[in-house]
Chain A
Amino acid sequence: MSDSFDLQHVNVKFFVKDAGAINLEDAINVFHAWIQEQKLDDLLIDVADYRHVPSGPGVILVGHNAQYSFDNAESNLGILYNRKTPVEAKGAANVQKAIERALEICRHLVADDAFRGKLEFVTDRLQIMINDRLIGVNDQASFERLLPDLTAALVSVFGEQDYSFERASDSRKRLTVSVDAPQGIAI
């Protein structure tokens, strides 16, 4: 990838296996507790409750650097890490950081009493988004520019395997890539 393609605002979503097992009221409680404990390496500020919006952002933990949510876009519940502030790293390293950060959130949630035994993740799929239409327009050219960094990041986090990628078809959307990992990923 060329240096000019400075990947920022990388979003990562891991999908929940059984959305029916999750009560989002628990997410509100857990996120408030995290604010009180300042659990993450970010300044945690507020919780936004959008449970009333169909296929909406669900429940969001708002941090200064990122938003962390039980996101229900396209009626597909998952844990979304949405980086807002710029990070120092570039290219593959930045994608890798975002994936690792999203994994960290998932692991914290799985370990929480409120979700223990209920929260499991789909292990053969994840989604990556570039939340900035100037950095990544959702077209084939940007997709192709993104792939080497994306692949490198996936390999460094989850190891070598035959990843396949699919770009969201609506060009108005953010550059959104669904990743299939046939041998599974450890969350």
Chain B
Amino acid sequence: MKASNPHWRERVVEQMSSQLTEELDQFETEITLKKQGKLDDRVFAETRLRRGAYGQRYDNGRRNDGIKTQKLEFPCGTLTKGPDTAWDAPGMLRIKIPYGGLNARQLEVLGELAEEYSDGIAHVTTRQCIQLHFIHIDDAPTIMRRLAAVGITTREACGNSVRNVTACPFSGICSDEAFDVTPYAHALTYHLLGHPDCQNFGRKFKPAFSGCKDQPCGLVKMHDVGYIATTREVDGKVQRGFEMYVGGGLGAVPRQAKLLSEFVSEEEILPLTQAVARVFGRLGEKKNRGKARIKFLVDKLGIEEFSRLVFEERSIMEPEASWTSYLDELDIKDEKPLRDAGSDLAGNDDPEFAKWCETNIYQQKQEGFVAVILSLPLGDITADQLRSLSDIARKYTNETIRTTVEQNIILRWVSKADVAAVYSDLKAAELVIPGAGTIVDVTSCPGTDTCKLGISSSRGLAAQLRERLAEKSVHMDQAIKDLVIKVSGCFNSCGGHHVADLGFYGVSRSINKHSIPHFQVVLGGQWSHNAGAYGLPMGAIPSKRIPETVDRLTQAFLDKKEKDESFKDFVGRIGKAEIKGLIQDLTQVPTYEEDRSYYSDWSDPREYTKDDIGIGECAGEVVTAFTFDLTSAERMLFEAQLKLEKDDSQGAAIQAFDAMVTATRGLLRLKVPNVGKDTETLVQQFRTEYFDTELFFDPYAGGKFGQYFLDAAASQGGSVDKDSAHRQIEEASLFVEACHACSGRMSEQPTAG
């Protein structure tokens, strides 16, 4: 935790948008309220998750040497930041990077934050985000402000919200694409960010864009909602649009996304997605988190009925300017080269250069330019490397940088003439690891290192595999090099094991009262065709024998594959029984007395146990939009009191009225499908739905508290002194309490049948 937090606000506030300034001030107030015991644990947990501040796995006394337990006495005592999560426990901050796009200054700031608040590492995730670990919650607002000052938000990076909008990192430079999806991904990000229609989900909602159907880069079919760029000709004119998919997802129960529409025009893509969000928000499961993703709703209703509901919803939506306004400036995301095109890759005496070029250079569709792929081990990059990369990006390009779902970074628009020089500069920064996109480039979720749900050490295994495969790669057959390995710490599949040739996910087994970390082997998933097929589990192998398993399976593929046969087809042809036979003996575990190394995980000397698994925060708590609105109203009342203390009577009265309006909005959500956007409509809806019907009436006080709101609405704009501001805060507090009571009465009413 840093001492300097308050001063950063003054330093960066000028560079932040007024909206983010306000939002982050509010978040800081919420932290204050939580510390004062005025905010419920569940609500605060979901509030911080929606700001990207995750709980991180930590021992919390549940694990010591694997056998004993030992309480960690955090100085915070009993203060918590969510259910079962100590205030002082280290946390993770997820930073949304829409479509993976970054500039040089942003890289520098990420490096600064990693050094000052984290452990010196910025981690690229499998959804193009950046994560910082070992963050103290008290530091989160400052980090968010420093990010906001360079145009980055963490808002809705976690929790039951629209997550990072991912896109193919080669968008705009790929010869296979129908067109560049970048401006569409950008527009969708900011249209849905904080949108009222996206605040009432039972779980997360992940969108992805791809420029074409066949390549894997967008992974559209494993997303909640996905878009594949396409064009059609209408009246001799080429029209842009998207094939739109819904209901895909990995996790314990993977689903391929289903086609919602073969062609959604560019004018319709935002409103139709909003309609999907409205249907999901209204009909999606809220109580059972295990069934709350959109894929289950699509399953339950069937794609035809789901589509019908979406298009019906679309037909009644009121137009919003942002649906199409971005189309006038589609070119703002266009990238230009900094340097002239080069005719061919300039030479370099370094013998490693040619080897690196084979795998780490991507030929752009623009003649004379390439994209350089920086392979990051396990997605990790240091602050020094981020600074060096920002220098290189400025020197050779117009800062055209993207993160990838393979946990790498791409530098686009490098002139062929500069490749050798870029290589030298990257080498000085220790950023020239060859083998990008090959079997060596293993991706992994955080697993037991930091994730509360991890069962086995996915990063530990991935690091082992990387090291061993890199040594062998010099003599490796191309067919093996081209395979994809992905590792997840548990069945939730954040590492994407379902769409790899060789996928592994963490499980455990017990023998004679001892636990042994294992990985389930999942074979034959398809990375190409936008994650076109999911692999099948073949059995669990002890973690320490997975490297041998990889050797066996790759050797068998090499020995037995038919010409040009893919690994997926090979697995399908020879069948599960034969594959199992190949690895059956590896399932054996020596006894504890014979070899204790099997009984601890990679890079962890402690005896293996699952006792430190916590409650996952992947989905966050399901907190209704009503609860959020009421919590916001209470925060506003608190801020109104602070204003009054500073003799700002006018500001206090306005804030008190805003609190009433916010509470009203929450209450209306319980009854009205289309809650008004402006205050006047909200007041009117409140009057007709709650006041005139007497639904809001208190059994003892009658309509008194509702009348406070109607009177306050009628008297807005009048002069205010300290006494009247004080009275308005009191009345607003009573009104907010009455909203709580009204909702309680409504939920207690017996339902028909």
How many A-B residue contacts, CB cutoff 8 Å?
A: 120
Residue of A35, A56, A67 touching B382 (CB-CB under 8 A): A56
The reply to whether B115 and A49 form a contact with Cβ atoms under 8 Å apart is no
Residue of A28, A52, A73 touching B378 (CB-CB under 8 A): A52
Residues of chain A within 8 A (CB-CB) of B112 are 133, 172
The reply to whether B64 and A48 form a contact with Cβ atoms under 8 Å apart is no
Given the complex of chains A and B, what is the CA–CA distance between A64 and B134 in angstroms? 10
- 22 A-B residue pairings within 8 Å (CB atoms): A8-B3, A25-B603, A28-B603, A28-B604, A32-B604, A45-B90, A46-B59, A48-B449, A50-B119, A52-B463, A54-B430, A55-B382, A57-B119, A64-B74, A64-B75, A64-B88, A73-B120, A86-B1, A131-B116, A134-B11, A135-B4, A172-B108
Residue of A32, A132, A134 touching B605 (CB-CB under 8 A): A32
- Given A35-B59, A75-B430: 8 more A-B contacts, CB < 8 Å: A9-B3, A32-B65, A45-B90, A47-B604, A49-B460, A51-B463, A54-B430, A133-B112
The reply to whether B382 and A45 form a contact with Cβ atoms under 8 Å apart is no
Given the complex of chains A and B, what is the CA–CA distance between A93 and B466 in angstroms? 45
- Which chain A residue shows the least CB distance to B463? A52
The reply to whether B74 and A52 form a contact with Cβ atoms under 8 Å apart is no
Cβ-based interface call for A113 (8 A): no
The reply to whether A62 and B90 form a contact with Cβ atoms under 8 Å apart is yes
Which 9 pairs, one residue from A and one from B, show the smallest C-beta to C-beta distance?
A: A86-B3, A54-B430, A57-B120, A52-B377, A29-B605, A134-B4, A49-B603, A52-B463, A8-B3
Residues of chain B within 8 A (CB-CB) of A9 are 2-3, 116
Cβ-based interface call for A141 (8 A): no
Cβ-based interface call for A74 (8 A): yes
Cβ-based interface call for A43 (8 A): yes
Cβ-based interface call for B73 (8 A): yes
Cβ-based interface call for A118 (8 A): no
The reply to whether B70 and A36 form a contact with Cβ atoms under 8 Å apart is yes
Residue of A32, A38, A47, A56 touching B121 (CB-CB under 8 A): A56
Answer whether A56 and B4 are a contact pair too, CB < 8 Å, given A36-B65, A46-B58. no
A residues whose Cβ falls under 8 Å from a Cβ of B: 6, 8-9, 25, 28-29, 32-33, 35-36, 38, 43, 45-57, 60, 62, 64, 67, 73-75, 84-86, 131-135, 170, 172-174
Residue of A6, A29, A52, A84 touching B380 (CB-CB under 8 A): A52
Residues of chain B within 8 A (CB-CB) of A32 are 65, 604-606
The reply to whether B384 and A45 form a contact with Cβ atoms under 8 Å apart is no
Residues of chain A within 8 A (CB-CB) of B604 are 28, 32, 47
- Which chain A residue shows the least CB distance to B88? A64
The reply to whether A57 and B121 form a contact with Cβ atoms under 8 Å apart is yes
Given the complex of chains A and B, what is the CA–CA distance between A8 and B2 in angstroms? 9
Given the complex of chains A and B, what is the CA–CA distance between A43 and B605 in angstroms? 20
Residues of chain A within 8 A (CB-CB) of B74 are 43, 64
**Shortest Cβ distance from residue A31 to the other chain B in the assembled complex, whole angstroms:** 10
Choose among B11, B108, B119, B466 the residue with the greatest number of A CB atoms under 10 Å from its CB.
Answer: B119
Residues of chain A within 8 A (CB-CB) of B89 are 45
Cβ-based interface call for B176 (8 A): no
The reply to whether B382 and A73 form a contact with Cβ atoms under 8 Å apart is yes
Residues of chain B within 8 A (CB-CB) of A57 are 119-121, 382
The A-contacting residues of B in range 314-331, CB under 8 angstroms, are none
Q: Mark B581-616, 1 if CB is under 8 A from A, else 0.
A: 000000000000000000000011110000000000
How many residues of chain B are within 8 Å of chain A by beta carbon?
A: 49
**Shortest Cβ distance from residue A75 to the other chain B in the assembled complex, whole angstroms:** 8
Residues of chain A within 8 A (CB-CB) of B463 are 49, 51-52
Given the complex of chains A and B, what is the CA–CA distance between A84 and B2 in angstroms? 6
Residues of chain B within 8 A (CB-CB) of A38 are 70
Residues of chain A within 8 A (CB-CB) of B381 are 53
Answer whether A50 and B380 are a contact pair too, CB < 8 Å, given A134-B4, A172-B387. yes
Q: Mark B104-135, 1 if CB is under 8 A from A, else 0.
A: 00001000100110011100000000000110
Cβ-based interface call for B578 (8 A): no
Given the complex of chains A and B, what is the CA–CA distance between A134 and B139 in angstroms? 14
**Shortest Cβ distance from residue B68 to the other chain A in the assembled complex, whole angstroms:** 8
The reply to whether A132 and B2 form a contact with Cβ atoms under 8 Å apart is yes
The reply to whether B605 and A45 form a contact with Cβ atoms under 8 Å apart is no
Given the complex of chains A and B, what is the CA–CA distance between A49 and B605 in angstroms? 12
Residues of chain B within 8 A (CB-CB) of A51 are 463, 603
**Shortest Cβ distance from residue A68 to the other chain B in the assembled complex, whole angstroms:** 11
Residues of chain A within 8 A (CB-CB) of B65 are 32, 36
Answer whether A8 and B4 are a contact pair too, CB < 8 Å, given A28-B605, A73-B382. yes
The reply to whether A53 and B377 form a contact with Cβ atoms under 8 Å apart is yes
Given the complex of chains A and B, what is the CA–CA distance between A162 and B308 in angstroms? 82
Given the complex of chains A and B, what is the CA–CA distance between A32 and B3 in angstroms? 28
**Shortest Cβ distance from residue A114 to the other chain B in the assembled complex, whole angstroms:** 11
Given the complex of chains A and B, what is the CA–CA distance between A57 and B134 in angstroms? 14
Residues of chain A within 8 A (CB-CB) of B7 are 134
Residues of chain A within 8 A (CB-CB) of B603 are 25, 28, 49, 51
The reply to whether B120 and A56 form a contact with Cβ atoms under 8 Å apart is yes
**Shortest Cβ distance from residue B491 to the other chain A in the assembled complex, whole angstroms:** 24
Residues of chain B within 8 A (CB-CB) of A60 are 119
Answer whether A45 and B3 are a contact pair too, CB < 8 Å, given A28-B604, A131-B116. no
Residues of chain B within 8 A (CB-CB) of A73 are 120, 382, 384
Residues of chain B within 8 A (CB-CB) of A46 are 58-59, 90, 134
Answer whether A132 and B4 are a contact pair too, CB < 8 Å, given A43-B74, A45-B90, A52-B467. yes
Cβ-based interface call for B190 (8 A): no
Given the complex of chains A and B, what is the CA–CA distance between A170 and B115 in angstroms? 15
- Which chain B residue shows the least CB distance to A25? B603
**Shortest Cβ distance from residue B388 to the other chain A in the assembled complex, whole angstroms:** 10
Given the complex of chains A and B, what is the CA–CA distance between A52 and B433 in angstroms? 12
**Shortest Cβ distance from residue A172 to the other chain B in the assembled complex, whole angstroms:** 6
Q: Mark B366-380, 1 if CB is under 8 A from A, else 0.
A: 000000000001101
Residues of chain A within 8 A (CB-CB) of B59 are 35, 45-46
The reply to whether A74 and B384 form a contact with Cβ atoms under 8 Å apart is yes
Answer whether A52 and B64 are a contact pair too, CB < 8 Å, given A9-B2, A32-B606, A64-B88. no
Cβ-based interface call for B741 (8 A): no
Given the complex of chains A and B, what is the CA–CA distance between A46 and B449 in angstroms? 9
Given the complex of chains A and B, what is the CA–CA distance between A33 and B34 in angstroms? 35
**Shortest Cβ distance from residue A43 to the other chain B in the assembled complex, whole angstroms:** 6
The reply to whether A55 and B384 form a contact with Cβ atoms under 8 Å apart is yes
Cβ-based interface call for B72 (8 A): yes
**Shortest Cβ distance from residue A137 to the other chain B in the assembled complex, whole angstroms:** 11
Given the complex of chains A and B, what is the CA–CA distance between A134 and B476 in angstroms? 50
Given the complex of chains A and B, what is the CA–CA distance between A117 and B681 in angstroms? 78
Choose among B4, B120, B121, B134 the residue with the greatest number of A CB atoms under 10 Å from its CB.
Answer: B120
Given the complex of chains A and B, what is the CA–CA distance between A20 and B119 in angstroms? 24
Given the complex of chains A and B, what is the CA–CA distance between A25 and B460 in angstroms? 12
The reply to whether A52 and B466 form a contact with Cβ atoms under 8 Å apart is yes
Residues of chain B within 8 A (CB-CB) of A56 are 120-121, 380, 382
- Which chain A residue shows the least CB distance to B464? A52
Given the complex of chains A and B, what is the CA–CA distance between A32 and B59 in angstroms? 12
The reply to whether A36 and B72 form a contact with Cβ atoms under 8 Å apart is no
The reply to whether A53 and B382 form a contact with Cβ atoms under 8 Å apart is yes
Answer whether A84 and B1 are a contact pair too, CB < 8 Å, given A45-B59, A52-B466, A174-B115. yes
Residues of chain A within 8 A (CB-CB) of B64 are 35-36
Given the complex of chains A and B, what is the CA–CA distance between A116 and B4 in angstroms? 39
- Which chain B residue shows the least CB distance to A67? B119
Residues of chain A within 8 A (CB-CB) of B378 are 52
Given the complex of chains A and B, what is the CA–CA distance between A55 and B377 in angstroms? 12
